[in-house]
Amino acid sequence: MAAHTLDNAIEADPNLYEGSESGMDDDAASSRYTASLTSSIEDYPMENGRRYHAFKDGTYVMPNDESELDRLDLTHNMLKISMNMRLFDATFSKAPKNILDIGTGTGMWAIEMADEYPEAEIVGTDLSPTQPSWVPGNVRFEIDDAEETWAFRDQFDFIHARYLAAAIKDWPKLVKQAFDGLAPGGTAEFQDFYLEYYSEDGSLKPEQHISKWITELLQACRAFGREPSPGPQLEAYMKDAGFENVAVHKYRLPIGPWPKDSHMKTVGSWNLVQIEAGLEAFSLRLFTQLLGWTTEDVQTLLANVRKDLRNPKIHAQFDLENTFRFRML
């Protein structure tokens, strides 16, 4: 993959793992993170030893089992750290009273927003009831498919959608429904990825297993009819939906603790853990059903991908793009 050249490229730490090609130990990395706050859900479809959504089965490629819920919590924390512990980038003229979180997952974002805005009412929607039962009194969760026609209109002061990569078939429709679901003067923010892995120093090469894996993964997502890298397109979607003066904030997400900068090193460490935790979840259904791979071949590839992920000489990264703007009065 071609190297990206930037004036402020992330500098690698030359003292990291001297004499070693591997990164953090599995047990040491995993021990830093707490278990998911979710309760177990039974009677869901099983494939390759993983549990999947029952509601609209087959429309979402990721599992919803405990391992995946744990990973979603890791990802939530990684994204918060990358954003300097903020839950969003948008600004409000007054505190929002009605908030919608699309694709709420484990509900962590909605729960933390409920604590931050105790006077607000927060609704989190998702395909499965995988959220914790003990939540603040001002938050509730609903099973809903965000791609169906919304019952909400002119209702919310803030609509938030994060990490819907590879989950949405019709992005323009979703963003337009968000626009229509806002009360006049309300704000929407979409946070999503550009998952084309790259390096700024040429250390990520096409022949490496990690490059082959992400290329095949993105191809499979698109064959499934879901865009895995919606981040760069969000600005255009928002403008087409009617939002004006759309703002875009971009965050670089290193994979692994290779950066010299302490903040980026922390982000990269969390990112490495969540990617490793999700390798099977990302790959199994797509590679076996869309690309025709055997489970054994997928596992062989993933074993080699793990080695590349932990190689401190490979300075891979990808981007998070946050787009936001209010609906005019």
**What is the model's pLDDT at position 152?**
84
309: how many CB neighbours lie within 10 A of its CB?
A: 23
Q: Which residues lie below 8 Å from residue 299, measured CB to CB, with a gap of 6+?
A: none
Looking at residue 318, its pLDDT comes to: 98
Cβ 318 vs Cβ 253: under 8 Å:
yes
Name which of 237, 202, 201, 219 is nearest 282 in CA terms: 219
Nearest-angstrom CA–CA distance, 266 and 259? 9
- Listed by start position, the domains of the chain span 26-326
pLDDT at 163 over 50: yes
- Give the model confidence (pLDDT) of 86-129 as tens digits: 999 999 989 999 999 999 999 999 999 999 999 999 999 998 88
Do the beta carbons of residue 10 and residue 244 sit within 8 Å? no
> Residue 296: exposed, middle, or buried by beta-carbon count in 10 A (0-12, 13-18, 19+)?
exposed
Model confidence at 15, pLDDT cuts 50, 70, 90, reads: confident
Residue 44 has pLDDT above 60, yes or no: no
235 φ, ψ to 5°? Answer: -60, -45
Distance CA 251, CA 162 (A): 14
Say whether pLDDT at 303 is over 70: yes
The pLDDT assigned to 309 comes to: 98
Question: Which residue in the block uniquely carries the two structure tokens 């490495």?
Answer: 272
The pLDDT of residue 326 is 83
CATH superfamily of 26-326: Vaccinia Virus protein VP39 (3.40.50.150)
Find all residues with CB under 8 Å of 209, minimum gap 6, and list them: 301, 304, 305, 307, 308
Tokens describing residue 89: 């980038």
What is the Cα–Cα distance from 164 to 133, expressed in whole angstroms? 23
Q: Residue 296 phi/psi, 5° resolution?
A: -65, -40
Distance, in Å, from the CA atom of 318 to the CA atom of 199, rounded to the nearest integer, reads: 8
Report the percentage of the chain scoring pLDDT > 90.
Answer: 71
* pLDDT band for position 17 (cuts 50, 70, 90): low
Q: What is the mean pLDDT of residues 302-319?
A: 98
Mean pLDDT of 20-30: 45
pLDDT interval class at 38 (50, 70, 90) = very low
The whole-number pLDDT of residue 19 equals: 52
Would you list the DSSP string of 107-148? SHHHHHHHHH-TTSEEEEEESS--S-S---TTEEEEE--TTS
- Cα 105 off chain centre by: 10
- Residue among 245, 114, 104, 107 nearest 187 (CA): 245
Instruction: Output the six-digit token pair for 59.
Output: 């429309």
